[in-house]
Amino acid sequence: MSLDHALLVSLLEKPSSGYELARRFDRSIGYFWHATHQQIYKVLARMEDAGWISGEVQPGEAAPDRKLFSVSRSGRSEVSRWLAEPTEPEGVRDSLMVKMRGAAFGKPGALIPELEHHRALHANRLTAYRVIEARDFSGALDRQRALQYQVLKSGIRFEQGWLEWCEEALGLLHSFDQDQGGNTP
């Protein structure tokens, strides 16, 4: 469990409404911790009950009302507590890898469009990261920005890794297509 903490950090960076957070989770932080708006609203409600955040309704002029949340003192101390507490890496879930192994029991060629799709997605994301990098992280950086940049750099590194891997995997599958049928090289 830790959407709580992702939201707290997000709110520390900038007090926001649920809707805003949901949008932010489609970019930025969401690249490292995804969540849907329903889940976000649920957790916000729970954290408000717990006193970690407080919400203030802002009557919208020419727009629906929005409830702006900010982190309370007890929310801040929860963040500190969590930062100090050791965390194990999350368990991986990568269906593409399972599919690769499954492909041995079906038509490996069927995975080619899938891999191309993934390659395109990762290429797009890499481009998006590069844009953010150029826009927000050139020049001198204060601590907060330096940390954010370090996080972004992990994104860049991994998307590059993905791209290279997709190329390699596509090469392998294409090589299967050529020597039809044979099961040994």
Partner DNA sequence: AGATACTATGCAACGAGTTGCAGTGCAAGT
Partner DNA sequence: ACTTGCACTGCAACTCGTTGCATAGTATCT
CA 145 to mean position of chain CA atoms = 18
How many angstroms separate the Cα of 29 from the Cα of each of 7, 57, 61, 99, 152? Answer: 9, 24, 29, 28, 10
Strand 66-71 vs strand 53-58: parallel, antiparallel, or unpaired?
A: antiparallel
Residue 66 engages DNA in binding (rule: CB under 7 A)? yes
Measured CA to CA, the distance from residue 47 to residue 40 in angstroms comes to 10
Restricting to residues 30-59, which ones interact with its own copies according to CB under 8 A? 31-34
Q: 44 or 169, CB closer to DNA? A: 44
Non-local (6+) Cβ contacts of 140 within 8 A are none
5 exposure class (CB count in 10 Å sphere: 0-12, 13-18, 19+): middle
Interacting partner of 60 out of DNA, its own copies, none (Cβ under 5 to 8 A depending on kind): DNA
Q: 46 or 117, CB closer to DNA? A: 46
The binder of DNA chosen from 13, 20, 114, 133 (CB under 7 A): 20
Interacting partner of 31 out of its own copies, DNA, none (Cβ under 5 to 8 A depending on kind): its own copies
Closest CA to 42 of 165, 116, 50: 50
Restricting to residues 112-171, which ones interact with its own copies according to CB under 8 A? 113-114, 117-118, 121, 140-144, 146-148, 150-151, 153-154, 157-158, 161, 164-165, 168-169
Residue 38 engages DNA in binding (rule: CB under 7 A)? yes
The binder of DNA chosen from 14, 27, 34, 174 (CB under 7 A): 34
Closest CA to 32 of 118, 139, 160, 156: 156
Stretch that binds DNA, among 14-22, 94-102, 140-148, 175-183 (CB under 7 A): 14-22
Task: Write down the least CB distance from residue 68 to its own copies, Å.
Answer: 18
Residue 92 engages DNA in binding (rule: CB under 7 A)? no
Distance linking the first and last C-alpha atoms of the chain: 46
The binder of its own copies chosen from 94, 134, 138, 180 (CB under 8 A): 94
Q: Which residues bind DNA (CB under 7 A)?
A: 1, 3, 17-20, 22, 34-39, 41-45, 60, 62-67, 91, 93
